[in-house]
Amino acid sequence: MAIWFSRSRNIGSQLQKCMKTREFLGSQTSWTSSPFQSSSSNVTSPALFLPNLRFNSSTISEKQLTSDSDDDPQVQSLDFPGGRVPYTSEMKFIWESSQNRVPCYRVLNDNGELIRNNNFQQVMSKEIAVKMYKDMLTLQIMDNMFYEAQRQGRISFYMTSFGEEAINIASAAALTKDDIILPQYREHGVLLHRGFTLLEFANQCLGNKADYGKGRQMPIHYGSNKHNYFNVSSPIATQLPQAAGVAYSLKMEKKDACVVTYFGDGGTSEGDFHAGLNFAAVMEAPVIFICRNNGWAISTNISEQFRSDGIVLKGQAYGIRSIRIDGNDALAVYNAIHAARDMAVREQRPILVEAMTYRVGHHSTSDDSTKYRALDEIDYWKMSRNPVSIFKKWIESNGWWSETEEAELRGNIRKEVLQAIQVAERTEKPPLAELFSDVYDHPPRNLQEQEKQLRETINRNPQNYPSDVPV
């Protein structure tokens, strides 16, 4: 008991420190306007469980002055570190799922028309909408041509964003360029929208000397300091706790920006997903977690990935405001990310967005998805739920786009992609010495020996090594 009290005092003083830090940071978090306050039926008030309202509970001496009656609200709740918890005499387990699934926010139907009874307010200008459409189309064509280039043996590996163009481009359009991106690997559309050129993409995929990674990484591992886009890294979900940390640094520096991190449904099975969300929630870090729930993690269907109603519910478990959206409706993605960014930056808090979509392409060029999923399923998403076609219909109905512009744009993009691949192919590879540079100021002896051995081996067996790498 004594240990319990002394621990609870320690936690109390930690919380007090936390309160002071919040004041110091000028957090504008306001629970009076919380959307959860009135909707939650099991919980009387956030004050009962939120650490930042911990000190609304009574002191022990105050309690002694009040009646001991069972009707007394003070007695009906447990004064616990972190806030009061209501008592109940009803033994009731929280059900593993609710009867109704969390609804999915959308604005456009599959014909690109505004859905009836929606309270959509047009925030998107013609200029933004047309740029978004052009970028979605560029992403689709670029993916097609790079994929083909891999099939021809010109690139060693590739991953497409087919079916996820709206999440990529519409989320990017709703952010500012100061917002920092920590991607998984299927979000190169965000980089494209920020101005990374087709030649820069091709240089990375070809691993030539113009590649910022100096050819050391697999294709599609893009990164750009200029565009505030962290490098893709292969191990799934490592970007999530990092995103919480980067966001916390923005908070410390009082920057008018947030972090946006992307991940797949498969990524949520990693411990890093849970660590990242919890860290961000506790530290009140301005980060938007965007989950692209595309139904599959390579050949693992979501039914084998989790038993919850998707990912959106997990946000509330960590104390994070969350929304589920139609990831194939570019307008819905844009609106939701726009609002999420505003809350993340203004209220200094994390937000979780679950975007429902579908990976129309194979996982990568090393995969054949027809081996584990039905062709009908792929076709349905490719044809009826195609995010590029849905958005195109909407901009056409506004009079912002025509078939003539479409034909001209398609022709131009194809030419530009082809040219980018050809120029990148002709560009020299980085010299062999670059394989050993940039980690140490002075390479240690073992690295020097490895470089020497590699050079000797190449000299002995030149036929086994690429002739276009300067030795």
Ligand X SMILES: Cc1ncc(C[n+]2csc(CCOP(=O)(O)OP(=O)(O)O)c2C)c(N)n1
Site residues for ligand X per CB under 6 A: 186, 234-236, 263-267, 292, 294, 296-298, 359, 363
Q: Which does 186 bind (CB under 5 to 8 A by kind): Mg ion, ligand X, none?
A: ligand X
How long a stretch of residues is the chain? 471
Catalytic, out of 57, 161, 364, 369: 364
DSSP-assigned letters across all residues of 86-110? E--SS--PPPSS-SSPPP-B-SB-T
Q: Report, in Å, the least distance between residue 270 CB and ligand X.
A: 6
Tokens of 220: 């599609």
297 scored as a contact of Mg ion (CB under 5 A): yes
Is 193 an annotated catalytic residue? no
**H or E stretch covering 271:** helix 271-283
Is 408 an annotated catalytic residue? no
Q: Which does 298 bind (CB under 5 to 8 A by kind): Mg ion, ligand X, none?
A: ligand X
Give the sign of the dihedral formed by CA 388, CA 391, CA 397, CA 402.
negative
The alpha carbon of 260 is separated from its chain's Cα centroid by a whole number of angstroms, namely 6
264 scored as a contact of Mg ion (CB under 5 A): yes
Tokens of 90: 């009803």
Q: Report, in Å, the least distance between residue 357 CB and Mg ion.
A: 9
| Bridge partner residues of 292 (DSSP) | 264, 355
Q: Which does 102 bind (CB under 5 to 8 A by kind): ligand X, Mg ion, none?
A: none
Q: Report, in Å, the least distance between residue 267 CB and Mg ion.
A: 8
Contact 268, 331 (CB under 8 A): no
Q: 263 in helix, strand or coil?
A: strand
Cβ distance to ligand X smaller for residue 201 or 296: 296
Contacts of 450 (CB under 8 A, 6+ apart): 436
Cβ distance to ligand X smaller for residue 52 or 386: 386
Answer left, alpha or beta for residue 310, where phi above 0 means left and psi between -120 and 50 means alpha.
left
Q: Whose CB is nearest to Mg ion?
A: 264
Q: Whose CB is nearest to ligand X?
A: 264
Among 187, 211, 265, 284, binds Mg ion (CB under 5 A): 265
CA dihedral 153, 159, 165, 169 (to 10 degrees): -100
Cβ distance to ligand X smaller for residue 266 or 430: 266
Which span (102-110, 292-300, 338-346, 459-467) binds Mg ion, by CB under 5 A? 292-300
Q: Which does 370 bind (CB under 5 to 8 A by kind): Mg ion, ligand X, none?
A: none
| Bridge partner residues of 86 (DSSP) | 77
Is 456 an annotated catalytic residue? no
Q: Which does 399 bind (CB under 5 to 8 A by kind): ligand X, Mg ion, none?
A: none
Cβ distance to ligand X smaller for residue 309 or 416: 309
Contact 324, 164 (CB under 8 A): no
215 scored as a contact of Mg ion (CB under 5 A): no
Is 234 an annotated catalytic residue? yes
Cβ distance to ligand X smaller for residue 221 or 363: 363
**H or E stretch covering 323:** strand 321-326
- The closest alpha carbon to 190, from 173, 178, 202, belongs to 173
Q: Report, in Å, the least distance between residue 287 CB and ligand X.
A: 18
Q: What residue spans of 152-179 are helical by DSSP H?
A: 165-173
294 scored as a contact of Mg ion (CB under 5 A): yes
Q: Report, in Å, the least distance between residue 365 CB and ligand X.
A: 13
Per-residue mark of binding to Mg ion, 220-259 (x: CB under 5 A): ----------------------------------------
Catalytic, out of 165, 193, 363, 369: 363
Tell me the CA distances in angstroms from 175 to 124, 254, 352, one per residue in order. 13, 18, 15
Q: Report, in Å, the least distance between residue 233 CB and ligand X.
A: 9
Tell me the CA distances in angstroms from 250 to 281, 349, 360, 417, one per residue in order. 15, 12, 36, 36
Q: Which does 235 bind (CB under 5 to 8 A by kind): ligand X, Mg ion, none?
A: ligand X
Which span (80-88, 252-260, 297-305, 391-399) binds Mg ion, by CB under 5 A? 297-305
Q: What residue spans of 358-402 are helical by DSSP H?
A: 375-379, 387-397
Cβ distance to Mg ion smaller for residue 283 or 297: 297
Tokens of 461: 């067996």
Q: Which residues are known catalytic residues?
A: 148, 234, 363-364
Residues near Mg ion, by CB under 5 A: 264-266, 294, 297
